[in-house]
Structures are given as C-alpha cells and as structure tokens.
Chain A
Amino acid sequence: MRDAWQHRELWGHLGWQDIKQRYRRSVIGPLWITISMGSTALALGLLYSTLFKQDLATFLPYVTVGFIVWNFILGVITEGTDVFIANEGLIKHLPAPMTVHVLRMVWRQLLFFAHNLAVYVVVLIVFFPALTKPYHMEGDTFTHPGITWNILLVIPAMALLVVNAVWVALLFGIISTRFRDIPPVINSFINLIFFMTPIVWHTGVLNTVTNGEGNWRILIAELNPLYHFVELVRAPLIGHVQSWHHWVVVGAFTIGGWALAFVALRNYRARVSYWV
C-alpha cells in the first residue's frame, strides 16, 4: 500500500489519461459523460415521479443524486472485478504494485462522478426553492428538513465510499482473476440489485402501497448494503433526514471489507501475475 502511494503520480496520471483518451477524437469530449447522465436522470425522474405520484420538484433531485451515486458504485463493482484481468499486459510486463491498477480505476470512477455532479448542480439550481425549505415525500411519516449546512456531510460520506471502493476492487479483482465466473455473475445480478435498491423509488413508497404493513419489505431494503452506501451520500445532498444507522453499517463494512482485502492481498498478491 505504501508503494502504491509513492506511485500516486502514476495512477493519477493514468486515470486522467483514461478519461482524455475516451474522448480524444470527439468534439465535446468528456461532456458526453454529463449529458448521458443528465438525460437518463431526467427521464427516470419524470417517469417514476408520475408512477409513484411524487412531487417532481423533490423527487427528480432524489432520483438524480441516487443515480449518480449508483453509477459510481456500479463502475467500481463491474470494473473492479475486471481490474486485474483488463491490465494483464501491464501486470506481466512492468513491475508495479498491484494496488496501482485498483487506485487508477477508482480515481477514474471518481472523475466520472465529478463530471456527473454537474447534473446535480443544474438540478439543484432549478429546484433550489423547493429543496431548501422543509418538504414532505409521499409515503413518509416524517418531514425532510431540506438542504442545510448538513450538506457538508457529503464530504466524509463520499470519502467513506471511496475507501470502500478500493477494498471492493482489490478483493473482487483478486477473486475474479482466479475464478472467471465471477464477473458474469456480478454483471447479471447488478441490474436486479439496481431495482432492489431505493434509487428510482424510495422506502416510504413501501408504506403506502402496503398500508403500513410493508415492514418486511423495508427490511429487504435495509439488508441490501448498497442502500446504506447510496443513502449515506444522497441524504445530505438533497436535504433528507439521515439516520445514523447508515453510518454504522457503512463503517462496519469498511472495517470488515478491508480486513478481508488485507488477507487476500497478503496471501494472493503474488499469485495474481500467475493467474491473469
């Protein structure tokens, strides 16, 4: 790990290069990332606010932010499983710490995330009046406070998300390099998980549709670890009530995940170049 930090200029540069590379011959370049995110979020927001009879002014920001955070998580998981396999050539030809490839990937995803934040800023400006005063979401039994200085909580939240992204990519990357079944398994289930996670819908809806008897369904959402990660970053950005239990769950995952990743790294780091 210390080696990888010494190589920070390397993965920093490579991550940048990846983004520049993707749009080298295109006219508006990296703006495409933002545009595609913006149009998807707009369409999803319009569709689901109608379906769930939600107020567009508060639901569209909810979907947008949820989707932006989800995209980061999705990128980390799918590219994380592939991180060593995709870098086979580099691993076999240049001696560099394994973590360099992981950090490059996470850094690239973080840059994508930053591009997508532009969409959030636009949404925030458009719906500023509705988001800065307390509001109520259909189905919730309580009122959300609106955006306050709590928005700053997004910084530690995002930092935690990134810290988790690194272990996920390390652990999943090592396992998938050895067992090539893992990437297809993850790719086929990730869409399901997207719909299971409260992103285009929110947990209050479960109360409404089941007349308050949907507790076991809410439990399913709670058991989905990704829900806590999404909620951690999303709540401060749109002024939702944030329960402290999300921090506890994410904190537990951070410690547990890193412990596993360290074990995997210690035992199998040297094997990765044999397996790729």
Chain B
Amino acid sequence: MVSIEVWNASVDFPIFDAKSRSLKKLALGKVGGKIGSEGRVPIIEALHDITLSIKEGDRVGLVGHNGAGKSTLLRLLAGIYEPTRGSSRITGKVAPVFDLGVGMDPEISGYENIMIRGLFLGMTRKQMEKRVDDIAEFTELGDYLSMPLRTYSTGMRVRLALGVVTSIDPEILLLDEGIGAVDAAFMAKARDRLRDLVRRSGLLVFANHSDETLIEFCDSAIWMDEGQVKQQGSLREVLTAYKGHDPFEYLSPETLARISGEPVLSTNGGE
C-alpha cells in the first residue's frame, strides 16, 4: 500500500557560516569554554511539527507563500531530508521532479539524459531502453532527443523530465513549481497521464502557485505557513481560505464537470 506518514517531524538546518564550519572554531571553542550564543550554530527551523498522512489515490496540492516550507516538505517526503525530530515513513517508489537543471547534463543528448534520470530513479538500463520510445512519443521531442540538452528550451526540459518520471510507473510523484513552463496542449496531456498514474496506484504531491494548475491536477490541498501545516482539506476549502475567495466560482461549467468527473472514476477504479 503506497502511503506517506509523517509524525511530528521537524527539519532544522544548521547555518554554518565560515567561522563555525571551521575546525579552528571547534578546537578553540572547547578550550575557551562556552561563549554564549556565539559558540552555537544558528538554526533555521524550516519545518516545525508536521504530521501528515497521504494515502494511495490522493492528489495533494501544496500551497503557501515563498519560504513557507513547500520545497523542504517535498524533500522530506522524498526521503532526501530525514526529520531532525519526529519520524516519517514512506512506502512506495518515489519519483521527484524538483529542479529541472539538476541531474541533467547539458552537454549530453536528451536520450542519454533520459537514461541517467531513469537510473537515478532506480530503473535498470534494460528497463529504460524499453521506455525510451514511449518517452519520445509522449514528450513529442522527436529528433531533438539526440541533440545536447543545452539546446533545449525550458518547456522542452519540463517535457523531458515529466516524460521520464511518468514512464517509470512511480508510486509517489512529487512535483515542485516550475513545470508551468509548458504549453496548454502538453499540460492537458500531462494532466491525463498523471491522473492515470495516480489512479492505478499512487499519490501525487504538487507545489504550485497557480489556481488553474492546482484545480487541474489536485483534489485536496495542504496550506503551509511558516514551516507548519496551517490547513489541510479539500482543494476548494483550502484554496478559498488561502486566497480569500473561492476560485471555483469563476470556472466554466465544462471545466467543473471535467474535474468533478475524475474522482468518481478514480473511486471506481480503486475498488
């Protein structure tokens, strides 16, 4: 059963400036005794006392101001940061799409980058070779895939990154902001594919600032504020509280029908 459980987790970053990161300070500090606050490493509490439970089939939007802890929370959920206090349990194969520049080598071709990404996400070379055609078709990059990645536009990189993570049958998909750089047609395609993945067996956590994107991709939401969970509930509730107005009001009836149509299907598929 794919799930993420987090209990009272905190993430504290030690901020080593040049002084405290050096051995000299450590050695001299011992000799001289305690020098009040100067001897201690300042700490930034990026996440404070987070308790979460995300289950299979959930599509969670992550909202909050800049610096509210959305990216840190995603990294906690990916297992990159282990909580400094509290605990977390992640069951399932994690596929994160955070920074599009990282883990991608600009000098090598799209194909080779697909391979490396896939290997990083725990696939074998053979498995990736099988998926390359599928990814090429989904990303619509065609011959561009044999070009070095530095020739790609931002949108093309997003396509490649999404192509890889969605092709490997991940169970836990974690998306940070920044994938908004693709055009509307591809967005629709990506949405269908992500929903499909979540329906099969999986969950999605997506940090984003755009109402439209969140409405398209998610059905519930978490509002992060100053490193804490301020509100957790259905997307509509949370967005209304967060934005101060109900974003669903302005949606066209067709859009509403499309969004609300999906969860019904997904419960059917799940049972």
A residues neighboring B (CB under 8 Å): 6-7, 9-10, 13-14, 17, 21, 24, 89-96, 178-182, 270, 273-275
Contact across chains for A9 and B80 when beta carbons are under 8 A apart: no
| A14 contacts across to B, CB distance below 8 A | 116, 119
Contact across chains for B107 and A274 when beta carbons are under 8 A apart: no
| A13 contacts across to B, CB distance below 8 A | 115-116, 119, 125
Q: Whose C-beta in chain B lies nearest to the C-beta of A24?
A: B107
**Docked complex Cα distance between A52 and B89 (Å):** 64
Contact across chains for A10 and B120 when beta carbons are under 8 A apart: yes
Contact across chains for B80 and A95 when beta carbons are under 8 A apart: yes
Most buried by B among A13, A21, A182: A13
> 19 A–B contact pairs at CB < 8 A?
A6-B122, A7-B119, A9-B125, A13-B115, A14-B119, A21-B107, A89-B101, A89-B103, A92-B102, A93-B80, A93-B96, A93-B102, A94-B96, A94-B103, A95-B78, A179-B21, A181-B22, A270-B82, A275-B14
| A93 contacts across to B, CB distance below 8 A | 80, 96, 98-99, 102-103
A175 to chain B, nearest CB (A): 10
Q: Whose C-beta in chain B lies nearest to the C-beta of A185?
A: B23
| A24 contacts across to B, CB distance below 8 A | 107-108
B104-122 contacts to A (CB < 8 Å): 105, 107-108, 112, 115-116, 119-122
Contact A21 to B108, CB < 8 A, known contacts A95-B78, A181-B23, A270-B82: yes
| A181 contacts across to B, CB distance below 8 A | 21-24
| A273 contacts across to B, CB distance below 8 A | 75, 80-81
Q: Whose C-beta in chain A lies nearest to the C-beta of B78?
A: A95
**Docked complex Cα distance between A10 and B13 (Å):** 29
A276 to chain B, nearest CB (A): 11
Contact across chains for B124 and A9 when beta carbons are under 8 A apart: yes
**Docked complex Cα distance between A92 and B176 (Å):** 13
Contact across chains for B103 and A179 when beta carbons are under 8 A apart: no
| B125 contacts across to A, CB distance below 8 A | 9, 13
Contact across chains for A10 and B22 when beta carbons are under 8 A apart: no
Residue B145 at the chain A interface, CB threshold 8 Å? no
| B98 contacts across to A, CB distance below 8 A | 92-93
**Docked complex Cα distance between A138 and B93 (Å):** 63
Q: Is the interface of A mostly helix, strand, loop or mixed?
A: helix
B158 to chain A, nearest CB (A): 15
| A182 contacts across to B, CB distance below 8 A | 23
**Docked complex Cα distance between A91 and B24 (Å):** 27
Given A92-B80, A181-B23, 7 extra CB contacts under 8 A: A9-B124, A13-B125, A92-B102, A95-B79, A182-B23, A274-B13, A274-B84
| B102 contacts across to A, CB distance below 8 A | 89-90, 92-94
Most buried by A among B94, B96, B102: B102
B42 to chain A, nearest CB (A): 14
Contact A180 to B96, CB < 8 A, known contacts A9-B124, A89-B102, A274-B81: no
B80 to chain A, nearest CB (A): 5
Q: Whose C-beta in chain B lies nearest to the C-beta of A18?
A: B105
**Docked complex Cα distance between A92 and B102 (Å):** 9
Q: Whose C-beta in chain B lies nearest to the C-beta of A11?
A: B119
Most buried by B among A6, A13, A94, A273: A94
From A10, A95, A178, A274, contact of B119 by CB (8 A): A10
Contact across chains for A95 and B94 when beta carbons are under 8 A apart: yes
Contact across chains for B105 and A89 when beta carbons are under 8 A apart: no
B127 to chain A, nearest CB (A): 10
| A89 contacts across to B, CB distance below 8 A | 99, 101-103
**Docked complex Cα distance between A274 and B85 (Å):** 14
**Docked complex Cα distance between A6 and B125 (Å):** 12
**Docked complex Cα distance between A95 and B80 (Å):** 5
Q: Whose C-beta in chain A lies nearest to the C-beta of B11?
A: A274
**Docked complex Cα distance between A189 and B57 (Å):** 56
**Docked complex Cα distance between A90 and B21 (Å):** 22
**Docked complex Cα distance between A56 and B207 (Å):** 67
B44 to chain A, nearest CB (A): 11
Q: Whose C-beta in chain A lies nearest to the C-beta of B118?
A: A10
**Docked complex Cα distance between A91 and B120 (Å):** 11
**Docked complex Cα distance between A110 and B116 (Å):** 20
**Docked complex Cα distance between A180 and B122 (Å):** 31
| A6 contacts across to B, CB distance below 8 A | 122
| A7 contacts across to B, CB distance below 8 A | 119, 122
**Docked complex Cα distance between A182 and B108 (Å):** 33
Contact across chains for A21 and B105 when beta carbons are under 8 A apart: yes
Most buried by B among A91, A93, A180, A274: A93
